[in-house]
Amino acid sequence: MVNTELIRTVVGIIGNVISLGLFLAPVPTFVRICKKRSVEEFSPMPYLATMLNCMVWVVYGLPIVHPHSTLVLTINGAGLFIELAYLLLFIIFSKGGKRLKVIALFIAEIVFIIALAIIVITVVHTWQRRSMIVGIISVVFCIGMYVAPLSVMRMVIQTKSVEFMPLTLSVVGFLNGVCWTTYALIRFDLYITIPNSVGTLFAVAQLVLYAVYYKSTKRQMEERKRKAELGMTEVAAGSKVGSAPYNGGDIP
């Protein structure tokens, strides 16, 4: 007899590993920020959105809110600390109005989550209703996070280039969506199924775009490289023409 609970646990552990990879994906960006001691033009919004999403799912995964959600709690707890580290670095290396905006939004998110947890735990008295309230909020925030790449997909269609839509991130996003959708379907959980199904569909759309525009991207990159090399050749030729040796005549 197949042990569905064991299968669900294994799928959840795999999902934890893949999700951890997604949370750690921005590390090179923050290495660059630390080296330059500036956030440059990077936006804090993706990290604020992801931290809020993680905090809501941590509340959802609490045993008194939704039992048997330990793996949801562990990965989102880990993601929360990772995003917190990103935001602290963002605050340290940003200046003026941008820093104040990040701090204000950060505090607002903390206040919102504390209020949500207190209200759900003290006012609502059954875990079914608690999980429904927090689950609906989680679905809204999670779908919002998954919808974010739409701007990148639109740019791909407009430019016919996937240069700024990394294949690795799309593949990992697809695997992450499939894992968590499977996890939610084994012991049906509507609030985990909906956002991860949507995330899987967006990842599939990204992979389709990658397949469609991969060749045109290569052509564009090769054309750009050829033009750059031609430009360097012309500059080199011009410098030789303009640097004829002095023949001893009068200098005007």
Q: Output the pLDDT for position 235.
A: 58
Average pLDDT of every residue of the chain: 83
Q: Are 130 and 64 in contact (CB under 8 A)?
A: yes
The model's confidence at residue 251, banded by pLDDT at 50, 70 and 90, is very low
For the chain, the three-class secondary structure string (H helix, E strand, C coil) is CCCHHHHHHHHHHHHHHHHHHHHHCCHHHHHHHHHHCCCCCCCCHHHHHHHHHHHHHHHHHCCCCCCCCHHHHHHHHHHHHHHHHHHHHHHHHCCHHHHHHHHHHHHHHHHHHHHHHHHHHHHCCCHHHHHHHHHHHHHHHHHHHHHCCHHHHHHHHHHCCCCCCCHHHHHHHHHHHHHHHHHHHHCCCHHHHHHHHHHHHHHHHHHHHHHHHHHHHHHHHHHHHHHHHHHHHHHHHHHHHCCCCCCCCCCC
Phi and psi at residue 188, to the nearest 5°: -50, 125
CA 102 – CA 45 distance, rounded (Å): 8
Q: Output the pLDDT for position 250.
A: 44
In the block, which residue shows the tokens 């993706």?
46
CA 9 – CA 188 distance, rounded (Å): 14
- The stretch 3-27 carries a mean pLDDT of 87
Task: Report which of residues 210 and 231 the model is more confident about.
Answer: 210
Q: Output the pLDDT for position 246.
A: 43
Q: Output the pLDDT for position 248.
A: 45
* Selection from 107-111, 197-201, 203-207 with the highest mean pLDDT: 107-111
85 pLDDT more than 90: yes
Sequence spans of domains, the chain: 4-219
Tokens of 178: 């499939």
- The stretch 226-238 carries a mean pLDDT of 68
CA 226 – CA 69 distance, rounded (Å): 54
- The stretch 46-62 carries a mean pLDDT of 88
Q: Which of 118-122, 123-127, 140-144 has the lowest mean pLDDT?
A: 140-144
